[in-house]
């Protein structure tokens, strides 16, 4: 693991890509999660949101990353999630994985983002254009 972080500042895709660079890797997969203007509701647009992390989130992120690195032939791995107030279009999460082959890199990257979303205690509070709001479980 070359880069694992939870930050309250804008995220850099270039920083994550650079962190997973490895001459022995034949495949590098990058996932960038952005704030979208809707969330399954037809009648109201997302106008803003905030992410909040539990104090254990960094340790859980490391645990998830270590499990992915143990299950796949990972050469390098990085995951960064943003917390605080975000607006539509902001980058919320960036993960990248480098492996010897592309198939392994795709599988490891998918596992990394899926496990991050389901296991790392980061919650999303969304505000909608109709004045309603909701909390969404993990990321």
Strand partners, 124: 51, 136
Q: List Cα–Cα distances, 24 to 27, 53, 70, 75, 79, in angstroms.
A: 9, 34, 18, 7, 20
* The pLDDT of residue 42: 62
pTM over 0.85: yes
* The pLDDT of residue 139: 44
* The pLDDT of residue 108: 98
Q: Which of 107, 71, 74 is nearest to 4 (CA)?
A: 74
pLDDT in tens, the chain (139 residues): 899 999 999 999 999 999 999 999 999 999 999 999 888 766 789 988 999 999 999 999 999 999 999 999 999 999 999 999 999 999 999 999 999 999 999 999 999 999 999 999 999 999 999 888 989 874 4
Q: What are phi and psi of 121, to 5 degrees?
A: -75, 80
Domains recognised in the chain with CATH numbers:
3-136 (3.90.1170.40)
* The pLDDT of residue 137: 72
Distance, CA of 23 to CA of 122 (rounded, Å): 33
- Find the radius of gyration of the CA atoms of the chain: 16
Q: What share of the chain is helix, strand, coil (3-state, %, to 5)?
A: 30, 35, 35
Other C-beta atoms lying within 10 Å of the C-beta of residue 61 = 25
């Amino acid at each position: 693991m070359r880069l694992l972080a939870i930050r309250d500042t804008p995220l850099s895709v270039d920083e994550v890509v650079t962190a997973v660079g490895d001459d022995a890797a034949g495949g590098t997969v990058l996932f960038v999660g952005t704030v979208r203007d809707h969330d399954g509701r037809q009648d109201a647009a997302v106008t803003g949101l905030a992410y909040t992390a539990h104090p254990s989130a960094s340790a859980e992120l490391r645990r998830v990353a270590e499990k992915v690195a143990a299950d796949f032939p990972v050469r390098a791995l990085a995951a960064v999630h943003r917390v605080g107030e975000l607006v539509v279009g902001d980058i919320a999460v960036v993960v990248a994985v480098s492996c010897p082959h592309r198939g392994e890199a795709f599988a490891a990257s998918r596992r990394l983002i899926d496990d991050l979303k389901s296991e790392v205690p980061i919650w999303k509070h969304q505000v909608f254009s109709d004045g309603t709001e909701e909390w969404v479980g993990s990321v």
